Structure 1
Amino acid sequence: MTIEVYLFIALGVLVITWSLASLFKKSPDQTKTILILICSIALVSVFYLLTYQSVSNYQEAKNEEESQRDKVLEALVQYVEANPSDAQAVKVIAEYNLELGNYDGAYKYYQQAYLANASNDISIIIGLIESTLLSRPEVLIYDLNDLVNQALAIDPVDQRALWFGGLIARANGDQALARTRWLKLLEDSQLSVDMRQAINEQLSLIN
């Protein structure tokens, strides 16, 4: 709904209110009560109408956005099928699938991007680690700890590499390595409060 429509409705409500106010001055008490009731019902009805239309417009806009995004994704998938070595395009599809919760699809495309990129992009390496942990494939093609080491070789203080690295080390029974990685992560002044709390909880389990 446009601002012009809102202004028109607001003006209409003001006119109705002014008219009713004039009637109140000339009407007996019982009539005033009836008019107040009618006015209240009208105002509530207008409120619900505006709310309904706002929600409807929002849903329509959301559906349109999703439709456009799906079209872009479809075109991107077609492009990747024709250009499988374009790691950045493949990464976009992987990120989109991860965002949607399609972890198997994310794992598939992160793996393709990793092979195409020769493991030089830390975001692809971290994405492959995360999607592997979430999709839980029956057969692991890569050693997750090796992937963590590759990521840390690129950026030794990357937050996600240290976080996932700690989780993987702990799962492998190497609590000392997990502790080392998480303590290093705690040194990051940019670490969020929630992340800091999660790390401290993990450390309390291995102390």
Structure 2
Amino acid sequence: MKPLFYIAAAVMIAVALALLLLPLLRHGRQAGRPHSLFVLMLGIALMIPVGAALLYWQVGTPAALNGVPQEVDVKKALDELRAHLAAQPNDIQGWLLLAQADMEMQQLQDARGAYGQILKLSPDNTSALVGWAQADSAASDDHHISDRARDLLERAIKLDPDNQRGLWLLGISDFQHGHFAEAAATWRKLQPLLQPGSNVAQAVAEQIALADARAGSAPASASSVATATDQGAQLHVQVALSPKLDAKLAKGDTLFVYARAPDGPPMPLAVARLSADQLKQAPASVTLTDAMSMVPSMKLSSVSRVVVGARVSHSGNAMAQSGDLEGDSGVIDVGSKAAVKVLIDKVHD
């Protein structure tokens, strides 16, 4: 379907723009510039090609632009695309366009559903395999990569070993599960595929250094050593379990201690994974640092205030589950030198 070809091309342009602009967003946040400014910049840059594509979808040909209102009703265009897919549910390119548009508009559940439709039609479609995993992770409170998402990522990499987004997400999954050596190895496969010296390559190198440091390995270079050992901001945390929840603590439970921005995204700025068994004897102590961040641009030193929380997971899953035990410190200053005390006194619904 020719219109969908041009629309899909516009989506590819939007993705390329995202890859170019995300490093700028990351650098801007580190420099202290307002987050909203870069989000607006990124949104405009992404929606221009997507909006143009959807306008093409509405008017059909460039010649038909004469007399067309200048404002693009993106919602109407997407509704028409959904109507088209209802009539032609086997149109893979149409589903791909819808999934990409939903991702850009932060309609993450819809994006996951659209990628799911593609996988029903084409189980080995690597764009859909990686896209479903990304949408599923983005839709979760802590951006955790689920077991199914990881299975899809592994399949995508088996089909396309040079899939850059797939390698990045698979490394994040390794890191989230505490498999730091595996995360570093996965990201090292990604490095040769990136432009040397680019911001993206630098960010990946920093993540490899962090994974090496957490795994107890020596980073690959002197600059990586400096990155890994410069812990920046630190918060000393003491976690205690309320006596009323003693009976709910089971052997083998996992304790997650984390810090997040009070008004920012739910992804932790720093997170530590410990055995919850020690809570039976005394409060658990841990120091959260910049080295415990998930991505270089989101760490303790990137904000002035945080909420420190702790959660006992019965499943060992980083994503909160019903029945988990949790508590938090409230909002505190990152520069605080006093120990942050967290009491786990609630049960997650």
After TM superposition, the score normalised by the length of structure 2 is 0.37
Cα separation, 1, equivalents of 2:82 and 2:122: 17
**Structure 1 175/143 Cα, relative in aligned 2: closer, same or farther at 3 Å?**
same
Q: Partner letter of residue 185 of structure 2? A: T
- What displacement does 1:80 show? 1.5
Is 1:171 the counterpart of 2:173 in the alignment? no
Tell me whether 1:108 sits opposite 2:113 in the alignment: yes
1:132-143 → structure 2 map (5 Å cutoff): 132-136=136-140, 143=148
Which of 123, 127, 138 pairs up with 1:123?
Answer: 127
Distance in 2, matches of 1:192 and 1:92, equals: 32
Kept in 1, the 8 Å contact 2:130–2:156? The answer is: yes
**Which residue number corresponds to residue 75 of structure 2?**
70
Given that 1:144 and 1:168 are in contact with CA atoms closer than 8 Å, whether structure 2 keeps it comes out as: no
**2:197 matches 1:197:** no
8 Å Cα contact 2:108/2:139 also seen in 1: yes
Unaligned ranges ≥5, structure 2: 1-51, 56-68, 213-349
Q: Is the 8 A contact 1:145 1:165 kept in 2?
A: yes
**Relative to structure 1, is the Cα distance of residues 178 and 66 closer, same or farther in structure 2, using a 3 angstrom cutoff?**
same
Separation in structure 2 between the aligned mates of residue 64 and residue 79 of structure 1, nearest angstrom: 24
Answering whether residue 187 of structure 2 is matched by residue 186 of structure 1, we say no
Question: Aligned-pair distance for 1:192?
Answer: 7.1
1:86 aligns with one of 86, 91, 99: 91
Q: Output the CA distance in 1 between the equivalents of 2:132 and 2:196.
A: 22
Secondary structure of the residue that 1:66 maps to in structure 2? coil
Contact 1:145–1:169 (8 Å) recurs in 2: no
Change (3 A) 1:206 1:160: same
CA distance in 2, matches of 1:84, 1:169: 35
Instruction: Report the Cα offset of residue 142 of structure 1.
Output: 5.8
Structure with the bigger RCO (C-alpha within 8 Å, sep 6+) is: 2
Q: Which has more helix, going by share of residues?
A: 1
Indicate conservation of the 8 Å contact 1:152/1:161, yes or no. Answer: yes
Name the CA distance, whole Å, in 2 between partners of 1:162 and 1:192.
Answer: 19
Aligned equivalents of 1:186, 1:145: Cα separation in 2? 20
Query: Counterpart amino acid of 1:126?
Result: V
With over 3 angstroms needed to count, the CA separation of the structure-2 counterparts of 1:153 and 1:192, relative to structure 1, is farther
Distance of aligned partners of 1:110 and 1:177 in 2 relative to their CA distance in 1, 3 Å threshold: same
Query: Is contact 1:175–1:206 with CA below 8 Å preserved after alignment?
Result: yes
For residues 205 and 76 of structure 1, the distance between their equivalents in structure 2, rounded to whole angstroms, comes to: 43
Task: Measure how far apart 1:125 and its partner are.
Answer: 1.1
Q: State how many pairs are aligned.
A: 144
Structure 1 residue 183: Cα displacement: 0.6
Identity of aligned residues (%): 26
Shift of 1:94: 0.7
Given the alignment of the two structures, is residue 160 of structure 1 paired with residue 165 of structure 2, yes or no? yes
Q: Which has the larger radius of gyration?
A: 1
Mind listing any 5+ residue stretches in structure 1 that lack a counterpart? 1-60
The alpha carbon displacement at 1:131 in A equals: 0.5
Q: What letter matches 1:129 in structure 2?
A: A
